[in-house]
């Protein structure tokens, strides 16, 4: 995600608006995205797909990359992706209660 300027690689927050990434990420939780995060198999990413942003898990299979939702009802949405489409890596989530106990880190920032 090119926001321009010197802050373009700063982490930013978004709110999850659907249930496609449950049970790990519940609707309404806040995710922290690091545009400079390390991309690796199994990480959670924000990607640009068909002129829109999508939040999914990244998988590497036989040298090819795919993104897929976690919720079983959306598994049919698995799709191949170019790494250039990755806009950032999810590094933390916070539940919608605002309590520290609801926070979880996925990588170090």
pLDDT at position 61 is: 96
Instruction: Profile the chain (109 residues) by mean pLDDT over runs of 10 residues.
Output: 55 95 94 94 96 96 97 95 96 76 66
Q: Which helix (H) or strand (E) holds 1?
A: none
Map out the domains of the chain as residue ranges. Answer: 12-105
By DSSP bridging, strand 64-68 and strand 52-61 are antiparallel
By DSSP bridging, strand 44-49 and strand 86-94 are antiparallel
pLDDT at position 104 is: 78
Angle at 26 between CA 25 and CA 28, to 5 degrees: 115
Superfamily of domain 12-105: Umud Fragment, subunit A (2.10.109.10)
Answer yes or no: pTM beyond 0.95: no
């Amino acid at each position: 995600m090119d926001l321009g300027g010197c802050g373009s690689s700063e982490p930013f927050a978004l709110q999850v608006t659907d249930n496609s990434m449950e049970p790990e990420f519940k609707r309404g939780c806040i995710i922290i995205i690091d545009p400079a995060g390390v991309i690796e198999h199994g990480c959670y990413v924000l990607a640009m797909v068909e002129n829109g942003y999508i939040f999914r898990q990244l998988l590497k299979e036989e040298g090819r990359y795919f993104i897929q939702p976690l919720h079983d009802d959306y598994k049919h949405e698995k799709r191949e992706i170019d790494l250039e489409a990755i806009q950032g890596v999810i590094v933390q989530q916070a539940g919608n209660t605002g309590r520290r106990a609801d926070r979880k880190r996925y990588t170090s920032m």
